[in-house]
C-alpha cells in the first residue's frame, strides 16, 4: 500500500476514479487514483459495481494499474466484487492484480462461513409477544423457587452445613449496615423535618401545635422510617447486589462456583438476604430516632416547644406494638430488597448492558415491592387494631 | 514501570523500526502487558520517555496524543470487545468514529477485515456467543480496521488452535509487508515467535529488567542466559538460581 504520509493527509492527491470497457468475452473495470479511506470514495465503489453488465460465464477483469495509492478500502471493494461475481455466475479474473493485493484477497475470502454461523432472524411480532408473556409467567415461578432455595439454604445454615465465605459475608454485612448509616440518617432526618413542617402549619390553624410531636412520632415509627429506609436500601444495597452478581455472571464466576459444587444460593444469595434481614430492622430503629430528631428540630424552631415537652408527648404517643409493626415490616422489606437484587443479578445476561438492566430492574422491583407490601401491612395492622 | 511503590521493570530501552515485527518475550507476570500499556499511552511510566518518530508522547498536548493514538491499533489480552455490540458493530465503530465511509463501504470493509481473521459470517454474533479464540480474532479485526501504522498485539495467538495460529502469523507478516506497519507482538508461542520476530526484548520477572535484546532466532543461538534459553527451548531452568540455592541450603 502507498506511503503512510499520503494516507494520513486529509485530501487525496489523485481523486479516485473508474472506467468500464468491454473486450471480447470480458469486461475490464479499470480503477485509478487514490483508493483509500480518506480519499473521499463516497459511493464510487457502488456506482462502479452497478455499471457492470455481463452475461453469466463471462469474466470480469480488474485493472489496478492506474491506482496511485490504496489501503484496505480497495481490497474491501474487491472482496465485495468477488462475492457479487459469485452470485451472478461471472468469473473474476484476478491475475492482473498485484501479488500482495491478491494474497490479502485470498486470505479474506477463504474459510467461508458455515451455514449455521448466521445469527437467527428476528421473530415475527405475534411470536415475540407470546414469548415475552411466557417468559414473564416463568419468571414468577423462578422468583418463588429462588425464595424456596433461600429458605432451604437457611435451614442448612442452621444445621451448620451451608457453604459460604465468611470474609465475603462480613463485607456484605458491613456494606449493607454500617456503610448505609450516613445516607439513611440524612434522609430520615429530612423526612422527619418535612413531616413536622407540613404538620405544624396545619395544626397551628387549629391551635393544636402540641399534637405535633404525636404526629411526627406516629408517622415516623409506623410508616416513614421503615419505608424510607427500605427505599434507600433498595437504591443503594439492592442495586449493588444486582450489579455485583450480574458482573460475576458475565465473568463466568458463577459458572465456576457451580462447577466447584458450591450452590450459588448458599454462597452468594443467603449472606446477602440475611445481611439485609438483620440490618434493615436495626437501621429502622436508627431511622426512627433520627426522624423524631428531625421533627423536634423543626418543632422547636416553629412552635418553641421545649425538649422535655416534646419528648413527653412523643413517648406518650408511642407503644411497643408500633415499634414491633415497624420492625417486622423492615425485616420483610430487607428480605424483599435483597431478593430482588440477587434475583435480577443472577438471571442477568452476559454483557455490560445486562448489568445496567439488572440493576434497574432490581431497584424498580424493590421499590414497587416495598410500597405494595407496606399497603398489605397497613390493611393487616388495621384489622388487628394496632 | 511500577504500580505505586511496587517495581515491575526498570531499564527498559528499545527502538522499534518502521516495518519491523518486534516481539516482547518474558514469563507470565513479568510485565509484558504493562509495558504495552505504557507504549499505547494508557499508563504513564514513572521514569523515562516514550517517543514516536521523535515526538515524546507524554510531553505532547492532548490533541497530539489523540492524533498519535489514532495511528495505533491495539489488540488487548482479553480481546476487549464491547459486549453489548455485535462483532459487526464492534469492528465498524472506529470507521464510524474516524472516517466518512458510507454504510456500504463500511459494510465492505468490515466484511473484509472479518474475512482476514477468518470470521466471515459471524457479523451478527455477540461477543458472549463466540469462543475465546474467536473473540481474540475479532479484537484483531477491530484493531486492523483503520489500517494502523503501529499495531500492538497482546498474546494474539493465545487460545487459538495451531492452524489458526499459523494463519495469524501469515496475516501478521502479510500486514507488515503490505502496509509497512510496525508491529509489536507479545507472545509465548515459540513457533510463532521464530516465524515472525525481526527483533525483540526479553523481560525478566526475577531481576525486574530486560535481560536480552534481539530477534528470537538470534537469541536462541547466541544468548546464553539460562532463563532466556529455558524460555526459547521450553526446558526447565538449568542453573543454581535463587530458588535452588534455598533448597540446597537447607
Ligand atoms: N493494575 C495493576 N495494579 C498493580 N499491579 C499490577 C497491575 N497490573 C499488573 N500488575 C502487576 O504487574 C506485573 C506484570 O503484569 P503483566 O504486565 O500483566 O504481566 P504479563 O507479562 O503476564 O503480561 C504482575 O506482577 C502484576 O501483579
Ligand atoms: Mg499479559
pLDDT in tens, A102-144: 877 877 776 554 444 455 566 788 888 888 888 888 888 888 8
Neighbour count for residue A115 (Cβ, 10 Å): 7
Whole-number pLDDT of residue B26: 87
Highest-scoring range by mean pLDDT, A21-25, A53-57, A184-188, B129-133: A184-188
User: To the nearest whole angstrom, how far is the Cα of A6 from the nearest Cα of chain B?
Assistant: 12
* Residue boundaries of the structural domains of chain A: 2-111, 138-384
- Please name the helix (run of DSSP H) or strand (run of DSSP E) that holds residue B22, with its range, or none: strand B21-26
Whether pTM exceeds 0.80: no
Grid cell for residue A251: 465473568
Q: Place A280 in a pLDDT band, splitting at 50, 70 and 90.
A: very high
Q: What dihedral do alpha carbons B126, B128, B131, B133 form, nearest 10°?
A: 80
Contact A358, A333 (CB under 8 A): no
Share of residues in chain A with pLDDT > 90 (%): 36
Average pLDDT, chain A: 84
Q: Place A5 in a pLDDT band, splitting at 50, 70 and 90.
A: very low
Contact A278, A173 (CB under 8 A): yes
Highest-scoring range by mean pLDDT, A43-57, A84-98, B162-176: B162-176
In the predicted model, residues of chain B with pLDDT beneath 70 are: 238-250
Q: Which of A1, A69, A108, A252 to mutate to test the interface with B (most CBs of B within 10 A)?
A: A108
Say if residue A8's pLDDT is above 50: no
**Which of B84, B115, B121 lies at the smallest CB-CB distance from A108?**
B115
**Which of A111, A119, A353 lies at the smallest CB-CB distance from B120?**
A111
Ligand 2 is an ion; residues with CB less than 5 A from it: B 33, 77
* pLDDT 10s digits, A305-352: 788 888 898 999 888 999 999 999 999 999 999 999 999 999 988 888
Whole-number pLDDT of residue A57: 67
Task: State CA B164 to chain mean position distance.
Answer: 17
Task: State CA A382 to chain mean position distance.
Answer: 39
Question: What's the Cα-to-Cα distance from A265 to each of A257, B15, B45, rounded to whole Å?
Answer: 10, 54, 44
> Of all protein residues, whose CA lies closest to atom 14 belonging to ligand 1?
B31
Fold classified for A2-111: Transcription Regulator spoIIAA (3.30.750)
Amino acid at each position: 500500500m502507498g506511503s503512510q504520509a499520503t494516507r494520513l493527509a486529509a485530501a487525496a492527491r489523485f481523486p479516485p476514479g473508474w472506467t468500464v470497457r468491454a473486450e471480447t468475452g470480458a469486461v475490464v473495470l479499470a480503477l485509478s487514483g487514490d483508493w483509500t479511506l480518506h480519499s473521499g470514495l463516497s459511493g464510487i465503489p457502488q456506482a462502479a459495481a452497478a455499471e457492470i453488465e455481463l452475461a453469466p460465464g463471462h469474466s470480469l477483469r480488474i485493472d489496478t494499474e492506474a491506482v496511485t495509492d490504496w489501503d484496505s478500502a480497495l481490497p474491501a471493494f474487491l472482496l465485495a466484487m468477488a462475492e457479487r461475481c459469485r452470485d451472478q455466475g461471472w468469473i473474476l479474473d484476478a491475475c492482473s492484480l498485484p501479488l500482495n493485493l491478491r494474497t490479502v484477497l485470498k486470505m479474506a475470502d477463504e474459510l467461508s462461513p458455515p451455514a449455521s454461523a448466521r445469527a437467527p432472524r428476528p421473530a415475527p411480532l405475534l411470536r415475540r409477544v407470546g414469548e415475552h408473556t411466557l417468559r414473564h409467567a416463568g419468571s414468577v415461578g423462578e422468583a418463588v423457587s429462588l425464595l424456596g432455595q433461600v429458605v432451604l439454604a437457611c435451614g442448612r445454615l442452621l444445621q451448620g452445613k451451608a457453604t459460604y465465605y465468611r470474609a465475603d459475608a462480613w463485607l456484605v454485612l458491613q456494606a449493607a449496615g454500617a456503610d448505609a448509616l450516613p445516607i439513611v440518617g440524612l434522609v430520615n432526618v429530612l423526612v422527619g423535618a418535612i413531616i413536622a413542617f407540613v404538620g405544624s402549619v396545619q395544626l397551628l390553624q387549629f391551635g393544636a401545635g402540641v399534637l405535633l410531636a404525636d404526629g411526627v412520632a406516629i408517622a415516623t415509627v409506623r410508616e416513614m422510617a421503615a419505608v424510607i429506609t427500605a427505599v434507600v436500601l433498595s437504591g443503594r444495597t439492592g442495586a449493588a447486589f444486582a450489579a455485583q452478581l450480574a458482573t460475576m455472571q458475565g465473568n463466568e464466576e458463577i459458572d465456576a462456583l457451580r462447577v466447584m459444587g458450591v450452590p450459588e444460593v448458599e454462597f452468594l444469595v443467603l449472606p446477602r438476604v440475611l445481611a439485609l434481614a438483620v440490618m434493615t430492622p436495626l437501621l429502622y430503629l436508627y431511622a426512627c430516632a433520627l426522624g423524631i430528631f428531625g421533627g423536634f428540630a423543626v418543632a422547636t424552631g416553629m412552635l418553641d416547644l421545649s425538649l422535655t415537652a416534646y419528648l413527653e408527648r412523643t413517648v406518650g404517643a408511642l407503644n411497643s406494638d408500633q415499634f414491633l409493626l415497624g420492625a417486622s415490616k423492615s425485616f420483610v422489606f430487607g428480605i424483599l430488597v435483597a431478593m430482588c437484587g440477587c434475583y435480577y443479578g443472577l438471571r442477568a445476561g452476559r454483557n455490560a448492558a445486562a448489568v445496567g438492566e439488572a440493576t434497574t430492574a432490581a431497584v424498580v422491583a424493590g421499590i414497587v415491592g416495598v410500597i405494595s407490601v407496606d399497603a398489605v401491612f397497613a390493611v393487616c395492622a388495621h384489622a388487628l387494631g394496632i | 514501570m511500577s504500580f505505586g511503590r511496587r517495581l515491575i521493570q526498570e531499564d527498559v530501552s528499545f527502538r522499534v523500526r518502521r516495518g519491523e515485527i518486534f516481539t516482547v518475550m518474558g514469563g507470565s507476570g513479568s510485565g509484558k502487558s504493562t509495558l504495552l500499556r505504557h507504549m499505547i499511552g494508557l499508563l504513564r511510566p514513572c521514569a523515562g520517555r516514550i517517543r514516536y518518530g521523535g515526538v515524546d508522547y507524554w510531553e505532547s498536548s492532548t490533541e497530539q496524543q489523540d492524533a498519535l493514538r489514532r495511528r495505533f491499533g491495539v489488540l488487548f489480552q482479553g480481546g476487549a470487545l464491547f459486549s453489548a455490540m455485535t462483532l459487526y458493530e464492534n469492528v465498524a465503530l472506529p470507521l464510524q468514529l474516524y472516517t466518512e465511509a458510507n454504510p456500504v463501504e463500511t459494510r465492505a470493509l468490515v466484511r473484509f477485515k472479518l474475512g482476514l481473521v477468518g470470521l466471515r459470517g459471524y457479523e451478527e454474533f455477540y461477543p458472549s456467543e463466540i469462543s475465546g479464540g474467536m473473540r481474540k480474532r475479532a479484537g484483531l479485526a477491530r484493531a486492523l480496521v483503520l489500517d494502523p501504522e503501529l499495531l500492538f498485539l497482546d498474546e494474539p495467538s493465545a487460545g487459538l488452535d495451531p492452524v489458526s495460529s499459523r494463519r495469524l502469523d501469515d496475516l501478521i507478516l502479510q500486514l507488515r509487508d503490505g502496509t509497512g506497519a510496525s508491529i509489536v507482538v507479545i507472545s509465548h508461542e515459540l513457533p510463532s515467535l521464530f516465524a515472525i520476530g525481526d527483533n525483540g526484548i526479553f523481560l525478566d520477572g526475577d531481576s525486574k529488567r530486560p535481560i536480552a535484546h534481539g530477534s528470537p532466532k538470534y537469541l536462541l543461538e547466541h544468548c546464553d542466559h539460562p532463563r532466556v534459553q529455558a524460555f526459547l527451548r521450553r526446558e526447565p531452568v538449568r542453573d543454581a538460581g535463587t530458588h535452588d540455592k534455598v533448597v540446597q541450603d537447607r
